[in-house]
Every structure is written in structure tokens, then in C-alpha cells.
Structure 1
Amino acid sequence: MAETPLPEALLALAGRYGVVPDYWGFDGSHRQVAEGTLVAVLAALGVDASSPERVEVALTNAEDEVWRRMLPPVLVVRAGAGGSVAVHVDDGAPVDAWVELEAESGGGRRDLAHLDVYVPPRTVDGRQVGRATLEIPADLPLGWHTIVAESGATTARCTLVVTPARLTLPVGLDERRAIGLMAQLYSVRSAQSWGLGDLADLRDLAWSAARRASADFVLINPLHAAEPAPPMTPSPYLPSSRRFVNPVYLRVEDIPETAYLPTAERTLVEWQAEAARPLSADAGPIDRDAVWTAKKVALEVVYAAPRSAARQARFDAFRAEQGQGLEDFATWCALTEHFDGERWPPECHDRASDAVRALRTELADRVTFHCWLQWVADEQLAAAQRAALEGGMRLGIMHDLAVGVHPEGADAWAMSDVFAHGVAVGAPPDMYNQQGQDWSQPPWRPDALARVAYAPYRDMLRTVLRHAGAIRIDHIIGLFRLWWIPEGRGAQAGAYVRYDHEALIGILCLEAERAGAVVIGEDLGTFEPWVRDYLVDRGILGTSVLWFEREGDDFRPPEHYRRLALATVTTHDLPPTAGYLAGEHVELRERLGLLTEPVEKVRADAWAERRQLLDLLGRRGLVGADPSERQVVEAMHRLLLASPAVLVGVSLPDAVGERRAQNQPGTDTEYPNWKVPLADSAQRLVTLDELFDHPRLRSLVAALRR
């Protein structure tokens, strides 16, 4: 049956706010978004489209709003390209404008010239408004500048962001590719860990990987902050805050004040360590709550110890540098502890309320404690990156940026005005998740981000990039468009909302350029073909996963892979390669009820795919007639070296023969997602202390060196 056409006015309004009324499914079918979905998504953007009359009012108001502002809130341009900016003043009134350059770019002022562009005036709110068009010079330096416009007694300001036209690869990466490890840090534990891999383990992992495996980087899971009190959300991709760090990763003994504790206080710390360290030998799911319960007690003891004048000054400087964002995050942590699982009073959901202001004062010491945790985490992250580079890595730590945040977390509370309400981010059905996905994360509102000149986005990037040689952007397509799912509807009943990708990608490039970091975008899944070309044009690497690299009905020859890419055999959302080869991903999904096709067909397809792979490896002389599992895994990684990809990543579970998946998409408590400790093919735990002597890892390293 033919679909009923959507009203033209509703389509125009949706287009005005970047809501896409149709999309192409993974099966090639063209699908129209339901009218009710469009109305619900527009409501989440603050637009009432509940009747034809309200749609017309919203259309007129959207156009008038542009003319009400003297300057737009933000303008993002590429270096060398220049541009223009519209200034709205009383019709016929003169206007002067200039750019104030930021201090980091040398400071100074540049006057803006008028362009000969005539636009008819518009009557807005009974006022005749004219538009002047001013030229943005093409030779402005990179940075965050300010456009100032004056007309009579009225002055307006606009943030001007000049971004790199293209990121360039670090010196040497053009001539010689970088090979690195990929690890879920919490799963990589040592004899000194408190039940979970921590930042000291990261430091040692990076140094050892450089020295003993010739690795140039180590990609880790997001270290974003979670809840400050149990229960702690296990998924690193559903954080409380993307800007700040989860202090569960701290190594207590590495905080300088720990060494000078009096005997009684030192005993308290040692008691907690004695309770937590045995967890590292537990083969069962990682218990973050037990780890954090012990570690938090110890950290509170160390926090209470006196700091030297210099150490205190450094903490104060860090707190001042991080500004209001850190204070709000720490306040949310203190409030979460204060209410201790009880429902928050309605007034406390507003960070600017009198109630929150009073609690900031009452809980000042707890706020300071949570600021301090971020400071010591920053110090330990710096030490890890320093050790990676000293070990010989060319890039060092590659941090991962999750696509969103927990709907009841710190970011959603502190920045409520830039998040959309009544919707969640997810993904439409695809061949691996045929029911679609609801990630339960609130999306940023594109219009609200622009209103605040992308400051929350910039600040988040700066924190993650502080001690990074590279950054992986999970679901980078989300900087172009996101699948918004209205509350109460299934993941299939969503719509794409477009973002200003030129602004978001440009700012990403600017902050990465200033940090000296490589950017990798996870560009898997459903997306528009031109997106990859755009990312290449901006110097952002893509992601090539062997299992997903197909040409027609067969595997794509590695010579046909992209050059600007991180090439890997697998990802954290798939079983390790040994498990995939054994078809365990099919059996797991069948047990969990995630299949939408008969299990026999899915199983047959998986074995056919395996046969294709073995045929490819055999034709290239990488395996013999009856290869072992280890030989196949090594051959698959050697196959990647035939690609032109500038980065090749080796999953740590693949390196030791692990079969269990870290995450099974589409599940929550049905599977121990993000809780699986590193083990080998016999399910024997592999600690960091023995990792680089493990026979499977040594054999894989030797195979990659051949």
C-alpha cells in the first residue's frame, strides 16, 4: 500500500530544523518517516508542529529569529577560505565590525569590509530590519576569535572559529605505517591492580607494548566518568560525563601524598588494597562496584592528607583552568552522594536553582574532593602518555570518545539546556542488529549547541585530548546526523536529525591540531556515501574492519582498503576472532533471542563467510590446507599488512586467543557486557605481568614482523 504523502508545510519545517523525513534502509529500501515521528522529534527541538496552524507559525518564527539577532551566535570557517557574515540592524543604519583575535593566535584586531550584497529588508515584530553582509578575511589564523559589530548604541558579539582546512599526518606516518594494540583497559589487570586495570597498568602496558611488541599506539576504551556511587554503569559507552574521567581507574599508590601518610592512615589504605587486589585473580565478571567501594575509601584518606604548597598550587591551577564545567561535574557527584539513591527534589534538577546553590556551599568539601579526583586522574593520564612516548611509541595513547551520555548523568544535568528531551539516540535496523538499537542517550540539540558557540563540545574535546596522541570518535557519523527515537516508540520508529558537520568536524580538527593528535572516525554502519569522502578531505582517518570489508559477495582485497584508515580484524562489538571463526557469535545471539532469521540460515551464512576467508588466505599463501586457529588469526592480521592503511590495530584478546565477547549489542543484563577479564583460549586469566611473554602474543608479534 502506498504511503500517505507528508504535508508540505511540515516537510518545510522539518527541513528548517534538520529533521530528515525519509531514509534508506540497510536492505536498500526507501522508507518514509511517520508523521507522528516528525512531530515528536520537532517537539524535542522546542518546535510545536502539533497542528497545521502551529506549523505555519513555527515556520514564520524560524525565519524571523535569524533577523532578530544582530549577529549569529557562532561562525565556523576553514583557514584560507574566508567567508561572510550577515549583520542585522535597523534598515538603513550604519554598522562597523571587526575581528578580535584570541591571545593564543597573537591577539590584535582586523576590521571587516562590507560586501556589495543587497538583501531586501524584512519587517520583524513591527520593526524594519536591514541586512549588511561583511567579508571574513581568508588569512585569519587558526583559533577562537570574536566578531564585534556596532550600530549606534547597539553592540553584538559572535564567536568566530577558524579551523584547519585539513589535518596532516604526523611526520613519519606517511613513510611507515603504525601498528598498535587495542585494549579494554579494565580487563588488563596486574598483580598491583585493585581488581580492575587502571592508569598505572595503562602506563606499563603502553611502555611494554612499545619496547616488547614495537607498538606505536594503544587504543583503549573510553575512560569517561561514571556514577560516583554504586551501582556503576559498566558500559564505558554510556558515561555520566564524556568530559571527565572515571576515578575507578586511579592507582591509589601512585598519588604522591600516599607515600607520606601516617601509620594509621596508611593502614586504612592497605586494608582496602588487601580487600580489592584478590579480585584481580577472579575469573568471573569484573565487579566495578566492589573495586570502587574499596578504592573510594582509600582515596578519601589520601585526599584528607596535607599537600605541599606546590602541590596545592598545582591543584588550584587545574581547578581554575577547568572552570565552571569541573565545578558543575563535581557538584553533580556530591549531590548524587548526598541523595544516596533517593529521588532528587525537582528544584535540584536545575543547576542554577537556589537549592543547588545552597547545597554547593553545604557540600563544598565533597565538591572539592571530586575536583581533586579529576586532578590526580589528569596527572596519571599524563604519566601514561609520557611513558608511551618514552618507550618509543610514535603516537602513544589513543583515547576513545563515546557517542553520548547517560540520560541521568552529570552532563545531562549540567548542560540540560543543550540536550534534547523526550528522545533517545540509537540506530535504525541493520544487518547485524535487525531490530534496531536504542542507546538510551539524549542527543545534543544542534540549535542549542550553536547558541552556546559549541563551547561544551570544545571543552570536552580539549579534556580528552590533553594527554593523547590520537583520538577515536565512536560513531563519527553522529557528527553529521543522529537517529532520534521518540520516547515510547521502538528503535525502528525514529528519524535522522542533521548536525552542522562543517562546524563539528572543523572544531574537532582545530582541537586535534592544537593537541598534535591523529583523529580516527569509526565510520561503520549505515551512512551516506559522501561522508567518507568528506572525512578524507579533512584528513580524518576512517575505520576498516576485515569482516565488514566486502566487494560484492566476497571479501575486498586488502589492496583496495583506504589508505587513511585504522585497519583491524575485529572491534569491541564483535567476538574476538577465535570466537568469530568458531561461530560463537551466532550461538550467542541465538541464545539471547537476538536473531530475526532462522538460526540455521544465520549459522550457514557464518560458515560460508568463514570458508570465503580461508579461501582468500589460502590463495595468498598465508595458510596451508588445514590451518590451526592460531595460524588463521595470525594470517588475518598479516593480510591487513597488504593494505595501504596507515594504522593497523591488533585486538589484545586476539593476541592471546580469547573467545568471549566484551559486548553483545542489543543486550543489557542478559550478558556480562564490559565485565570480561582478559583470558586466553583455555579461559586462563592473562595478567599484564605475563602478557608480553604469552606464547600466542609472541607468535603474533613475530608473524607481523615477517
Structure 2
Amino acid sequence: MEEQAVDQKSTFSVEELSQAHGVSSTRTDAHGNEHPLPQRAVVQVLRALGVDASTPERIEVESLALVDDEWRRMLPETLVLVSGHTYNLPVHVHHGETVVAWLDDDTGRHVQDLTQLDVYVTPRTVEGREVGRATFELPVNLRPGLYTIRARSESDQARCLLVVRPSSMPFSRSRGYGFAYLPHSLRSENSWGIGDFQDIADTAVLSALHSKTNFLRIGSVGIGQDSRCPESNRYIDPIYIRIEAIRESGYVTSADRSLIEWSYEPLELEEGAEAPRVIDRTTVWHAKLSALKIIFGVPKQYARQVSFQEFCESGGADLHEFAQWWLTQHPEATLEHSTESYRRVQITARDIEFAKWLQWVASQQLSGAHSEAQQGRSRGLVREMSVGIGVNSFDALALENAVIPHFGVVNWYEQFVSLESAFAPLHPTRHKRRIANHYIRMMKSLEGTCARVIFNHADLIFRQHWAPESGNVDDYVEVATDFDLILGVLAVMSGQTKIEILFDAAGLESWMFEELKSRGFGISVRWDIAGMQPPVHNIAGITDISVGDMYGAPLAGILSGEDIELRERLGVDDEHGYTGAARGIAQQRRDHVVAALAQQGRLSSQLTERELIEAIYASCAQSDAPSVSISLTDAVGERRAMSVSQADDQYPQYNLLVNDSSGSPITVENLFDSARARQLLSHIAALRESRGYNKREAAISF
């Protein structure tokens, strides 16, 4: 049997060369019309990818190199297959040499040797050497999972990451409803000035007990306070650790216990003082850090020591590198830290052990919160996080040259401010194994801490809009991603970790939406009332529905226009492009909601703000979405936005503690003293029950 290799043409234009490297030479406007990009912008991105398109001569050289690119590699870097399908794998070797190929699983265990097919392909001369192609058949009976294809010839060897994704996702779309909130914002009397992991567990248990909720949805607990773009999604911020819940805290000496109590003193309220409404993260962190350093010095019992060692071994080099990076970002966490000299302190092996210990404790407490939350018919925690990678994050650093320097990625609704606030641009055609490993590690880090994860900024999986350091809008360039690889890895890891994956629909184009649905991923939709968007209740295939805008502004603030007034006071542009008086816009929003609800037959008279919010959630509860996420801030009547885009230090971003409609602090202890919250949840529960959505038999694990 003979197969002829298909020759591509020898030279490309700039547009064709850029397309071959995943770089678009056009921009699509809001109406679907394509417009050519300035050639300088395209050439600039190609240069960043190591492709010189500055002159016609260089374009020809790069084009010729691209023609033979596949033949330079013995194996492709990565390969994605659908389970149950076969594939003929090309392997490139020095012409005339023999080659063998085999398959290992993700533990390194040999699975089977691959069979070479009798397929002749004409050899090709590449950079002065004659290269032949052998063809091997991949078996059709491979189960979904991660594998390594290995090949060896007389003079070369190579490996390829093989992702065998399921033809469909194995999860049922379980039904229910639950609170959604940012973990820092709801504290208890026993937490140190900020919501922590024990508060998460208690909130989940109390919600299920009082209101029969089925899950608790929490925002990011990654490194750093910016939940939109954290310093790491794969590691946990130790500021959420509950000090007293660490087992070793019960074995400190009396002298050390006094020191821990002194550490807490800056957070204590003076008699008669009002409870704080804003978190002082610096004071909270330094107080907790002092206590954590003391507890770290307490010897661990044998079982705990073994557990810690296993955690470190499992984390391997990546955990070690993270610990070193984290200590450089937080030199105050070195054990020999002093106020005057900590920036000059050398990081020691003991410091690195301390940083690893913090991750171990945080991971244990978050897993414990999820376990405690899985009571009755509650399925535990739902975690929400960005699928994007911050430019200056540890995750970007670990990706090494898979991240392109001097560019930032902006998603569909944001303006470029600076590289520091942008997402990291990923190489569209190279270093795919590193990119795949990032998502593998991210999913492994979630294992045992949640039943479901909702990824925001899902459009970044399909394409990225690269912005140069200048921030010139005319130079934004759309760059493709290998979404088949990323989604394949996520599908496999979803099965391995037993975590259901949903993607937030914001920013997804119809083809992206359909691509995700066809693969069995869940879709989370948000009724954006601030943007006066139409209801999303009847979108086919949605898994979860919520209400609000992209920045966590509560409905009370949106319907009153307080979010617009706030942005005007801060001097930042309105993300919706509104102009005019806030009160007039608020009335437009209210009219929009009332009209939408009236079409559904849900309004019979003029409603108060509280009744209107309840009607909005009631309409969601009677939609076809299997699950409904209820913002905790809406339930208690909070009016302040948790964050304001582009406001930076002008606003206490992600540092507000939840208040009720009168401005009084809401805590874990008094959450269900709120008649407003009880009434809303009771109404939602009755509506879901009437539709059969909360029956015990429907409460299947995610």
C-alpha cells in the first residue's frame, strides 16, 4: 500500500503565514463583519512567536520552513482522540532506520506495543537529511484517559501526550439550588476578620439545614485577593485557614498559646465599637501568619506527618517551585522574618517546608469543608474560578516559554489597562504539553474540594485577543488556541476527579456554546439585568442559572442605579456604555425586568424592590435549568458591589464584608435570622418542589 505525502505550496502571503500559525489577520466586529488588521499588528505577533515576516524574503523562508515542520518531529507533541476511534500515527525517522512504538498510561505502566502498518510514504529531504515516515495504528479500545506514546529508532527517540477523551460526559445534570458568594465576605464570630474554610463549611451545613439547599457555590480561593485573575488557580490562599481547626493548635505550650492570643489582639473589637464592613487584609494576614508560624513548630503525630510527606511527594517539583516563588512574593512568611531585615533574608529549606505545610493545611481544611457540606441531599461545594491565567501569576511562570512576553490577553468585555491586570497569552502552536499539564494539575488540585467547578472567561479557551504593551486597540490581534486539547484534557480529568465541569456562557459565541454542549460540558448562564439583557431561561442545554452582572453588583444596587452612581464617583467608565442620570437608567432597568416578568405572567401588581428581586429569582426557579444559584448578597439585601472594574485601589476590591439592607453586618451566626433570606429561599424551595426538581431521587451526585 502506498500513500503520497501531500505537499503544501512553497510560499505563503503574510495573511496565509499568520493563519498557519493561528494568528488572524482580520477582526470581526459586533455585527459579524470582518475588517483587515494593520499588517504591523500581525507582523508584531508573528515576531513574538519567533516568526519573521518583516520582508517578502523572510516570509518565503518562514513559509518553506513551515512546509516541512511536521517532518522535523519524530512524533507530534500532543494528540487528542475520541474513545472508540482508531488513528494512524505518523512517526518520522532517518530514512532506512527501524522504529518501534508503544503506549504507556499516565503512571508510566506499559499498556501495549503499537502495530506498524504496511504504508509506504515517499521520503522527504529536510535540512539536508532524508526523513522517512512509518505509520502505526493506535488501538480502538483505549479507555478515556491520559497516555504517553513513545517511539525509538536507532538514532532518536520521542514521546507524545495522548489524550483519549470520552465521546460524551458521564455526569447527570443534577437538580437543586444553593447560595453563591465570595468566601472572604461572610465571616463568623470565631474567624479572624475574614471568612475562612470553617465558615464555608458552617454556611453550607446551615443552608442545607434551614433551607434544604443542595450546594454552596463559592468564588475563588486561589492565591491573591483578585478572584478574576488570581496569582495561582492551582494553589490555595492560606489567609482562609482557620487557626483553631489545625490539629496541632491543640498541642501548643501555654506560652505559645498566649502568643497566639496576642496575635489575634489587633483583630479584636473594642467594647461598643461597630463591626468592620471592610476587611483589613494586611492586618488579618500578619495576625494569622504569626499564629501559623507558632503552630508549624509543633511536632505532628505520626499519621499527620505521613500525610504531610505524601502531600509533598505528590506535589513534587511543582509544589517546591511554588513554595520558592510564594516566599519571594511574601518574604514576611520566612521564619526568620523581622520588620527591618526580611527583604534580605535567604530562603531556607525550613521556609520552603513551611510554605508547603500551609498548602497542606489549606487543602485539608477546604476538603474538610466540602465533606461537611455533603450532608443530607446536599452535594457539597461548587467552586467558581477563571480558566484564564494571570500574566504575573505563578501559573504563567510555571508555563515558561508557553507564555508569550510583552503581550496581555483581554477578554470580550474588558478594556486593556496594563499587562499586570491582563491574562497570559499562550503559544498557539508550540509547547502544548506544558499547556496540557497546567490544566491537568489544575483539575488535580480541585480533587476532593468540590463536586462541580464553574469556569469563567471560557472564551479564552477558544481564542485570545492579544494586546501589546502599548494597549493600542488597533493592534489587538485574535490568536487561536488548541481548544480541542484543552477541552479534551478537562473532559478526561473531569472523569478522573469525579468533578462536573461547567462553563460560564458570558462571552461565548454560538459555535463555542454548541461545541461545549456537544462534548457534554455543562453551561452556566447569568441573567444580566444591569445590561438589560433578555431573560436566559429558555436557552436549550443550560445547566445552571444565576442573576446579576459580571462584577458581583447586588440586584438592590442594580435596580436603584447605585452601581452607576458609584462608578461616576470613582471616575471610571461604565462597562455597559450607559450615559445619563443613574436614576433614569435604574428606572429603565426596572421597566425592562417588569416587562420580562410580565410576559411570563409573574406580575400582578406594583412590587417593592424586595418583592421584585424575589420575583426575578422565582422566574429562574421555574426555568428549565436544573440548578439555580442564588446570590447571598441578594438574599440579605446587600446593595454594595463586591468589586468595580477598572477602579483598582480607589475601591476596596474583594474586601467587603456582607451587610443586610440596613447596613448591619451579616455573619454565619445571624444569616438565617434574616427574614428576607428565609422568605426568598422558602419561595424558591416551594417552586422547585412543585416542578419535581428537588425530589430525593433527583439528588444524584454530580
Q: TM-score, normalised by structure 2?
A: 0.88
Instruction: Give the C-alpha shift of residue 28 in structure 1.
Output: 4.4
1:486 aligns to 2:468 (yes or no): yes
Question: Among 273, 276, 292, which residue is 2:267 paired with?
Answer: 276
Give the corresponding residue for 2:692. none
Q: Residues 243 and 292 of structure 2 are in contact (CA less than 8 Å); yes or no, is this contact kept in structure 1?
A: yes
- Post-superposition CA distance 1:160-187 (Å, at most 9, x none): 12122221324xx45xx22111110000
2:436 aligned residue: 454
Deviation at 1:585, TM superposition (A): 2.9
CA distance in 2, matches of 1:492, 1:182: 38
User: Which residue type is aligned with residue 334 of structure 1?
Assistant: L
How far apart in 2 are the matches of 1:541 and 1:159?
A: 26
Q: Does 1:585 align with 2:563?
A: yes
Provide, for residues 565-618 of structure 1, a one-character-per-residue CA deviation record: whole Å limited to 9, x for no partner: 211112451421111111223333333240495722887565334213212323
CA displacement at 1:338 relative to structure 2: 4.8
Contact 2:548 2:555 in 1 (8 A): yes
The Cα RMSD (Å) is: 2.8
Give 1:621 deviation, angstroms: 4.2
Question: Matches of 1:414 and 1:434 in 2, distance apart?
Answer: 26
Give matches, 1:232-247, under 5 Å.
234-247=225-238
Q: Deviations over 1:441-479 (max 9, x none)?
A: 322324444143722221122102342101111111211
Q: Which residue of 2 aligns with 1:501?
A: 483
Rate the CA distance shift 1:102–1:468 in 2: closer, same or farther, 3 A: same
Corresponding residue number in structure 2 for 1:419: 403
How far does residue 325 in structure 1 lie from its aligned partner after superposition? 0.7
CA distance change for structure 1 residues 55 and 425 in 2, over 3 Å: closer, same or farther? same
Partner AA of 1:273 in structure 2: Y
Call closer, same or farther: CA 1:186–1:449 in 2, change over 3 Å.
farther
Shift of 1:418: 2.4
What's 2:60 paired with? 56
Aligned residue runs from structure 1 range 457-606, under 5 A: 457-491=439-473, 493-525=475-507, 527-547=508-528, 555-556=534-535, 558=537, 560-591=538-569, 592-595=571-574, 599-600=579-580, 604=584
Q: Deviations over 1:639-670 (max 9, x none)?
A: 01222112211011011011111122233123
2:203 corresponds to 1:197: no
Distance 2:265 2:473 in 1: 45
2:341 is aligned to none
Matched, 1:258 2:249: yes
Counterpart selection for 1:409 from 380, 386, 393: 393
Query: How much has 1:268 moved relative to structure 2?
Result: 1.0
Q: CA deviation at 1:73?
A: 2.0
- Rounded Cα–Cα distance in structure 1 between residues aligned with 2:120 and 2:97: 14
- Counterpart CA distance in 1 for 2:27 and 2:64 is 27
Q: CA 1:184–1:340 in structure 2 vs 1: closer, same or farther (change >3 Å)?
A: closer
Partner of 1:351: none
- In structure 2, the residue matched to 1:614 is 594
The 1:277–1:189 alpha-carbon spacing in structure 2 relative to 1, beyond 3 Å, is farther
The answer to whether the 8 Å contact 1:575/1:662 transfers is yes
Inter-partner Cα distance in structure 1 for 2:584 and 2:545: 27
Distance 2:683 2:101 in 1: 62
- Please tell me the residue identity of whatever aligns with 1:664: V
CA distance in 1, matches of 2:623, 2:674: 27
Secondary structure of 2:646's counterpart equals coil
Moved more, 81-90 or 675-684: 81-90
Tell me what 1:230 maps to: none
- 2-structure distance, mates of 1:389, 1:271: 35
Partner residue of 1:224 out of 214, 218, 222: 222
Match runs of 1:141-180 below 5 Å: 141-170=143-172, 173=173, 177-180=175-178
Q: Is 1:441 the equivalent of 2:460?
A: no
- 3-state SS of 1:390 partner: coil
Contact 1:186 1:196 in 2 (8 A): yes
CA contact (8 A) 1:207 1:387 kept: yes
Which whole-Å deviations, capped at 9, do the CAs of 1:102-149 have from their partners, x for residues lacking one? 459xx5533333456554432211011122332222210222212122
CA deviations 1:369-389 (Å, max 9, x no partner) are: 000000001110111010011
Asked if structure 2 preserves the Cα contact closer than 8 Å seen for 1:182 and 1:650, the reply is yes
Structure-2 change in CA distance of 1:475 and 1:408 (3 Å): closer
Please state how far the C-alpha of 1:554 moved relative to its aligned partner: 7.7
Aligned equivalent of 1:344: none
Match of 1:129 in 2: 131
For 2:185 and 2:332, the matched residues in 1 are separated by 31
Tell me which stretches of 4 or more aligned residues in structure 1 moved more than 6 Å. 434-438
Per-residue deviation, 1:340: 10
Q: Which residue does 2:359 correspond to in 1?
A: 374
SS at match of 2:544: strand
Q: Distance in 2 between matches of 1:312 and 1:411?
A: 28
Distance 1:492 1:587 in 2: 31
Are the equivalent residues in 1 in contact too, given 2:529–2:548 (CA < 8 A)? no
CA contact (8 A) 2:177 2:213 kept: yes
Cα displacement (A) at 1:41: 2.0
Distance 2:38 2:120 in 1: 40
2:274 and 2:191 map into 1 onto residues whose CA distance is 10
User: Does the 8 A contact of 1:70 with 1:156 survive in 2?
Assistant: yes
1:308-323 maps to which residues of 2 (within 5 A)?
308-323=301-316
Equivalent positions of 1:637-656 (< 5 A) are: 637-656=617-636
Quote the Cα distance in structure 1 between the aligned partners of 2:245 and 2:330. Answer: 25
Match of 1:211 in 2: 209
C-alpha distance in 1, partners of 2:250/2:474? 55
| 8 Å CA contact 2:529, 2:593 repeated in 1 | no
The corresponding residue for 1:307 is 300
**Paired residue secondary structure (2:149):** strand
Q: Distance in 2 between matches of 1:544 and 1:76?
A: 28
Of 13-22 and 447-456, more deviation after overlay is shown by 447-456
What is the percentage of aligned positions where both structures have the same residue?
32
Deviation (angstroms), 1:332: 1.1
1:17 is aligned to 21
Q: Which residue of 2 aligns with 1:285?
A: 278
1:336 aligned onto 2:320: no
User: What CA distance in whole angstroms lies between the structure 2 residues aligned with 1:29 and 1:600?
Assistant: 30
Judge conservation of contact 1:679–1:686 (CA < 8 Å) in 2. yes
Q: Residues 441 and 466 of structure 1: is their aligned pair in 2 closer, same or farther, counting only changes over 3 Å?
A: same
Name the CA distance, whole Å, in 2 between partners of 1:453 and 1:554: 35
CA offsets 1:236-270 (integer angstroms, 9 cap, x no match): 22322221100001011110000010011111111
> Contact 1:206 / 1:391 at 8 angstroms: preserved in 2?
no
Secondary structure, aligned partner of 2:71: helix
Matched, 1:701 2:694: no
SS of corresponding position for 1:61:
helix
Alignment match, 1:346: none
Q: Return 237-246 or 32-41, whichever deviates more.
A: 32-41
- Mind listing any 5+ residue stretches in structure 2 that lack a counterpart? 1-10, 335-344, 687-702
Contact 1:549 1:555 in 2 (8 A): no
What secondary structure is seen at the aligned counterpart in 1 of 2:140? coil
* Structure-2 separation of matches of 1:590 and 1:27: 29
CA-to-aligned-CA distance 1:42-90 (integer Å, 9 cap, x gap): 2332333333333333333334332121111221212122323221112
Alpha carbons 2:530, 2:558 under 8 Å: kept: no
After TM superposition, give the deviation of residue 285 of structure 1 in Å.
2.6
* Matching of residue 267 in structure 1 with residue 258 in structure 2: yes
Structure 2 CA distance for partners of 1:465 and 1:571, relative to 1, 3 Å = farther
**Shift in Å, 1:277:** 4.7
The farther-off stretch of 154-163 and 42-51 is 42-51
Q: Give the aligned residue type for 2:634.
A: D
Shift of 1:191: 0.3
